């Protein structure tokens, strides 16, 4: 074996080892989920600050409502007010989406 052949084999072996390290061994559904989450996170970066804050508020209200329903099977007044406020904030932050939902519900 010549020196150049030995170097070529070493380079090929290193490339194969690198490819093996880079190959993702996770299940396909997990790879797909990560790609979907990355796409959604990148899109979320395009939202305005007040839209992000509105979504965070809505998430918290939904979590609180879900907790109350599981624990006591009813919603407290503060949670009901939170739901009302969340809908109002969504309408202001996403007017076109709110109008689309309204029209779908009204059959337009």
Same domain, 40 and 19: yes
Which of 30, 46, 62 is at the close of a domain?
46
Question: Are residue 37 and residue 54 in the same domain, yes or no?
Answer: no
Q: How far apart are CA 12 and CA 32, in angstroms?
A: 30
> Same structural domain for residues 90 and 105?
yes
Range of the structural domain that residue 17 is part of: 1-46
In a shared domain, residues 39 and 57: no
Query: Are 39 and 51 within one domain?
Result: no
Query: According to the 3-state scheme, what is the secondary structure of the chain?
Result: CCHHHHHHHHHHHHHHHHHHHHCCCCCHHHHHHHHHHHHHHHHHCCCCHHHHHHHHHHHHHHHHHHHHHHHHCCCCHHHHHHHHHHHHHHHHHCHHHHHHHHHHHHCC
Over its length of 108 residues, how does the chain's per-residue pLDDT go in tens digits? 555 566 677 777 777 777 666 777 888 899 889 989 998 888 888 899 999 999 999 999 999 999 999 988 899 999 999 999 999 999 999 999 989 988 998 886
58 and 106 assigned to the same domain: yes
- Domain match, 66 and 108 both: yes
């Amino acid at each position: 074996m010549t020196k150049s052949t030995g170097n070529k084999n070493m380079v090929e072996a290193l490339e194969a080892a690198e490819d093996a390290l880079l190959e993702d061994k996770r299940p396909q559904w997990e790879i797909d989920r990560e790609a979907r989450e990355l796409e959604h996170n990148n899109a979320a970066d395009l939202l305005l600050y007040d839209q992000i804050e509105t979504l965070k508020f809505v998430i918290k209200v939904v979590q609180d409502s879900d907790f109350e329903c599981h624990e006591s099977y009813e919603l407290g007044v503060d949670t009901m007010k939170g739901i009302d406020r969340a809908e109002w904030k969504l309408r202001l932050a996403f007017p076109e989406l709110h109008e689309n939902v309204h029209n779908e519900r009204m059959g337009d």
